Amino acid sequence: MASKRDYYEVLGVGRDADEAEIKKAYRRLARKLHPDVNKDDPQAEEKFKELSEAYEILSDPDKRARYDQYGHAGINENDFNFEDFARGGFGGLDDIFDMFFGGFSGFGGMGGSRRRGPQQGSDLQYRLEISFEKAAFGGSEVITIPRTESCNTCNGSGAKPGTEVKTCPDCQGSGQIRISQQTPFGHFTQTRICNRCAGEGKIVITPCTTCHGSGKVRKERKITVNIPAGVETGTRLRMAGEGEAGDPGAPNGDLYILLQVKPHEIFTRRGDDIYCEVPISFVQAALGDEIEVPTLEGKVKFQIPEGTQPGTSFRLKNKGIAHLNGYGRGDEFVTVKVVIPRKLNAKQKELLLEFAEVSGDEINPEQKSWLKKVRDALGV
């Protein structure tokens, strides 16, 4: 398969599934996906191997913990071996045949002997947290990811330089072995991966001392991630070829960057527009004033008109977030919050009382209107 799917998705369970749920899901899918039940599906064997790999990782607490934290990047190639898995413990081929036929192995074939071709490397996923400003204007981040890379010593062959790689004598290069068995129910044939070459069709006589014959090594790689303007939490960026190394002759997988934008102390975002509150005094609200308003580029002067009411919003065009993969920007909406002083000195109280006396009922025209309606309704 071109890339690895999420192991929980493969098994069809949630990330909080316990051991019993994982085992139950595996048994159910193993009956459904086993190659001997899907002889017409050329991908049956790969699907079954994918299922077995997912169960092998998620049924092991240590491997599952690494996978939960790092995804496929936290799983080494040696963490799963299909042949070892098939030979021992629950989930092996014998166990699957027990499910089907009460212990008789080999119900039909796997669709002919064919060697597994070079496999593309697995995709990786990396969660990256960025600032609100970087999401708005774009930028770059340098990250370090663990991944497998082709061994430079042996050029990915797995063989020590100067030595040869031979065709497997057991499977003659096909990567598979056919086993026939006569049972009381008839003649059954099973096709399985060759144990000697692990399905590769080739045998390394003298393993490379650097990669120990795997053809791949684990390294940490620094990568610069270019972040376009206008991204948001949940945006996924694809970096082609930056995933796990593929087999010789096959491409690397891809790296997917999943972005998480940090909250801002002042602004909130809705689409490409941003919102903030600015406190003003009741004097500024009544008389109008030029105030300072924060924007993503810094503070700007803004004239509020006299008689501005609490909660009034003003629009600053093109002061929002850049449109992703487009032109222009969103807007900024500024809501004024009229702050009433909690304490007044004697002079302030005197002036307010004088204002109240001069204004009379006009202190609050809306209240006057409401009182008039009440009087009219009561006939007083």
Residue 351, classified by CB atoms within 10 Å of its CB into exposed (0-12), middle (13-18) or buried (19+), is exposed
Domain containing 126 equals 117-158+212-263
Specify the 3-state DSSP secondary structure of 246: coil
Q: Write out the chain's pLDDT in tens, 380 residues.
A: 456 788 999 999 888 888 888 988 888 888 788 777 777 888 888 888 889 889 989 988 888 888 887 787 777 655 555 444 443 334 444 444 444 443 333 444 444 444 456 778 899 999 999 999 999 999 999 999 999 999 999 988 889 998 888 888 888 888 888 887 766 556 677 788 887 777 778 888 889 999 888 888 999 999 999 999 999 999 999 999 999 998 877 899 999 999 999 999 999 999 999 999 999 998 999 999 999 999 999 999 999 999 999 999 999 999 999 999 778 999 999 999 999 888 889 998 888 888 888 877 554 556 556 556 655 665 54
In a domain, 181, yes or no: no
Looking at the structure, tell me whether residues 312 and 249 fall in a common domain: no
Q: What is the pLDDT of residue 85?
A: 46
Q: Which residues of 169-190 are buried (b: 16+ CB within 10 A; e: fewer)?
A: eebebbbbbeeeeeeeeeebeb
Helices (H), the chain: 7-11, 19-33, 44-58, 61-70, 82-87, 93-101, 132-137, 282-287, 346-359, 365-378
Looking at the structure, tell me whether residues 249 and 125 fall in a common domain: yes
Looking at the structure, tell me whether residues 281 and 259 fall in a common domain: no
In a domain, 186, yes or no: no
Q: For residue 133, what is the domain's CATH number?
A: 2.60.260.20
Q: For residue 79, what is the domain's CATH number?
A: 1.10.287.110
Q: What is the pLDDT of residue 205?
A: 86
Looking at the structure, tell me whether residues 70 and 127 fall in a common domain: no
Give CA separation, 128 vs 71, 139, 231, 294, 301, in Å.
14, 13, 12, 27, 35
Q: What is the pLDDT of residue 371?
A: 53
C-alpha torsion 134→238→55→98, nearest 10: 160
Looking at the structure, tell me whether residues 146 and 281 fall in a common domain: no
Looking at the structure, tell me whether residues 221 and 259 fall in a common domain: yes
